[in-house]
A = this chain, B = another copy of it.
């Protein structure tokens, strides 16, 4: 009895390559390939695979959003996140969304099939690089701070951000100042870099 898997990955080349990698395994069958989050959700609900292997950053819906929606709908399909992001914010969010596995693209290819088998048998699999507690550092930013910092990270001035978010310029500056302080940065650019690095943005 083969483990049925749907794969979601927006880079088509990588998607095809991952499918090729798994088709080599005698006990794994790829039943669907999705290029974006919405397609991933559809294929999963349609095929009801044992497992969904998904990237995070994809068009339409992120892999985390798909996992959360499957959880909300009580789907029995288990979710493994396969991502570039070795960042605490993403791991925390993935676990909250009901993911049973979190693997890095930096891991050896040989570990993928094994991870799939383990998650299929009911286990939880976290990439060793992320397994330590230090990687689950709490995100200190409030939603408003995050929102404001996102715009600042693109180069928007405080006035522009204020107009976009229907706030006063002073309030925007206050939120930025608070975010900068919480992240131990010395300006908005550095704050954005730190938050991005930790998966909080």
* A→B interface (CB under 8 Å): 10-21, 24, 82, 84, 103-112, 152-157, 185-193
Contact = CB atoms under 8 A, between A and B. Distances in A.
Contact of A13 (B11, B20, B109): B109
A93 B154 CA distance: 26
B189 A152 contact: yes
How many copies are assembled? 2
A20 B108 CA distance: 13
Give me the 6 closest cross-chain CB pairs, A-B, nearest first. Answer: A16-B109, A155-B190, A17-B17, A155-B189, A11-B105, A17-B21
Given A154-B193, A157-B186, A193-B154, A108 B16 contact: yes
Contacts of A111: 13
A12 B154 contact: no
B189 A153 contact: yes
A2 B105 CA distance: 29
A154 B24 CA distance: 43
A123 to B, nearest CB: 19
Contacts of A16: 21, 108-110
A156 to B, nearest CB: 8
Given A12-B105, A14-B17, 6 more contacts: A11-B84, A11-B106, A14-B14, A20-B109, A155-B185, A156-B190
A157 B156 CA distance: 18
A84 B21 CA distance: 20
